[in-house]
Amino acid sequence: MAYRKVAEIFSQISGVYDRFLSLATAGQIHRWQRDLLSGMNMEGNWLDVGTGTGELLRKLGEDWRGIRVGIDPALGMLFVAKKKCPGCFFLQAVGESLPFREGSFRNVSLSLVFRHLEDKEAFLKDAFRVLESGGRIGILDIGRFRGTGVLLLLMKTLLKPLGVLIFGSDKWSFFIHSVEDSLSPEEVEAMLRSSGFSVISKERRLLGVVHLIVAVKTA
């Protein structure tokens, strides 16, 4: 799906996205994001790719020692993000073409975004470029696991009425397809290694549905 359509979908749901995500994860999204942050460098410029409503950057706190930047193709999400994190900087951009110079960031993060990237290899190459030596990339995402079929069945049956009620039928179908297209954490790890990163941690959450992976640029 082209980013133009993705941006349209997420802009339309920007007002309800945080509430739905918290409800759908029973509030665990906040713990997962904090766990991801704890594995990253504790200072320096930070880039959040597919930042959405800017929640992850907001969790860094106003006393963060470095510049906090979020990018997203969905302008509606960025408007919400700026209200939530007025001390952060937000740009409309996509992960495969990061508008920053080489070595600009100490950290790059993606929260429930990696599976939506159209060209994951191109993104990882550009993320490697904008990270300084010793910089870290952190990925929190839904991944393929043994129970993916069950999750998809739930999304198409028991969870469908709620999803359609909140998002509408076409947008809920988009989320179903994003799960169908998700990668296993092992596949994500292999992609990181082939892009020059060294994986330093890989954890699973929610019975394997969610994974947290942190890797470092060592060259």
pLDDT in tens, 191-216: 999 999 999 999 998 878 899 999 99
- 194: helix, strand or coil: helix
Can you tell me which residue has the tokens 């990696």?
A: 114
Q: What is the mean pLDDT of the chain?
A: 90
Count of beta carbons in the 10 Å neighbourhood of residue 40: 20
Q: For residue 2, what pLDDT band results from cuts at 50, 70 and 90?
A: low
Domains assigned to the chain: 3-145+183-217 (3.40.50.150)
Write the single-letter amino acid at 157: T
Count of beta carbons in the 10 Å neighbourhood of residue 81: 25
Q: Is the pLDDT of residue 33 over 60?
A: yes
In terms of phi and psi (left: phi > 0; alpha: psi -120 to 50; beta: otherwise), the region of 38 is: alpha
Q: How far, in Å, CA of 84 to CA of 168, rounded?
A: 25
What's the pTM value of the predicted model, to 2 decimals? 0.88
Report yes or no: 143 and 83 within 8 Å, Cβ to Cβ: no
Q: What is the pLDDT of residue 150?
A: 73
Q: Where is 3: in which H helix or E strand?
A: helix 3-12
Q: Which residues contact 5 (CB under 8 A, 6 or more apart)?
A: none
Q: What is the pLDDT of residue 175?
A: 75
